[in-house]
């Protein structure tokens, strides 16, 4: 099952999606860009956990899991280059 199918799963009222950020950025050199990257990093970690769980339970194959993780990594890398370019 592709990752895209899980984007709308947790849209019910009163339920926080595991794909939403849930902790604050506490770095000494705080900036809006670093906060945005921190949220992107949390999202990346949460989605990786979902993909690993799906693969471990046989819902997706290893090739699909690898491809989904590769796409997420590319997105995080691009986010880092855009948001942290001067830091």
Mean pLDDT by 10 residues, the chain (87 residues): 47 51 65 89 96 97 97 96 82
Q: What is the pTM of this model?
A: 0.68
Largest CA distance in the chain: 42
Q: What is the CA radius of gyration of the chain?
A: 15
d(CA 82, CA 67): 23
CB-based contact 4:11 (threshold 8 Å) = no
CA angle in degrees (0–180, nearest 5) for 52-53-55: 65
């Amino acid at each position: 099952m592709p990752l895209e199918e899980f984007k709308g799963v947790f849209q019910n009222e009163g339920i926080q999606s595991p794909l939403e950020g849930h902790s604050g950025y506490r770095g000494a050199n705080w900036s809006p860009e670093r906060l945005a990257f921190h949220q992107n990093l949390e999202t990346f970690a949460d989605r990786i956990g979902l993909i690993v769980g799906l693969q471990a339970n046989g819902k997706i194959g290893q090739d699909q899991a690898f491809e989904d993780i590769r796409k997420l990594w590319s997105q995080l890398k691009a986010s880092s280059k855009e948001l942290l370019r001067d830091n």
